[in-house]
Amino acid sequence: MAEKMKIMVINGPNLNMLGVREVGIYGSESYADLEALIENYANENGIEATVLQSNSEGEIIDFIHHALGNYDGIIINPGAYTHYSYAIHDALISVNLPTVEVHISNVYKREEFRHKSVTAPACTGQIAGLGFRGYLLAMDYLSGEATDSAKN
């Protein structure tokens, strides 16, 4: 049997506060609910997903470095670091893995400072505003990519 695709899911600062923070924007489901959603979907689809969260930039960079050689793709929601972390941008460029940036909220409908992502140019693509489903759609994309490249 073919080996399972391995995806690292990285959530940045304040995402551990889901269900508590700005529920009108992020919804009432908790971070544990998000983890369970991703893990169940991965299991149903034959994907091995590791779901990580950190409030510190350096730790997120260490996660990204660890993905190299150990994972086939990355899903990252860098939280507010999206808007100013050149260090996370450079880490993503360094490992050069298929990567999808996910935002739960539609950042383009919100404050101006959220309209700019400095990390998205280091990613394959971005999903914003589709709630928790964005993570599942990102998994669909990455697993489709792996299947396509196996065919070629």
Q: Catalytic positions, please?
A: 26, 103
Segment contacting ligand DQA by CB under 6 A, of 36-44, 66-74, 88-96, 104-112: 104-112
- Binding ligand DQA (rule: CB under 6 A), the pick from 76, 89, 103, 123 is 103
Q: How many residues bind ligand DQA (CB under 6 A)?
A: 10
- By beta-carbon proximity to ligand DQA, the closer residue of 107 and 120 is 107
* Among the listed residues 81, 137, 89, the one whose alpha carbon sits nearest the alpha carbon of residue 107: 81
Segment contacting ligand DQA by CB under 6 A, of 44-52, 67-75, 79-87, 142-150: 79-87
Strand stretches in the chain, DSSP E: 5-11, 47-53, 73-77, 99-103, 125-128
- Binding ligand DQA (rule: CB under 6 A), the pick from 7, 79, 85, 97 is 79
| H helices, E strands: number in the chain | 5, 5
Q: Which structure tokens are listed for 67?
A: 């993905």
Q: Say if CB 87 and CB 114 are below 8 A apart.
A: no
Q: What does the angle CA 11 – CA 67 – CA 73 come to, to the nearest 5 degrees?
A: 75
Please report, as ranges, the residues that interact with ligand DQA according to CB under 6 A: 14, 77, 79-80, 82, 103-105, 107, 114
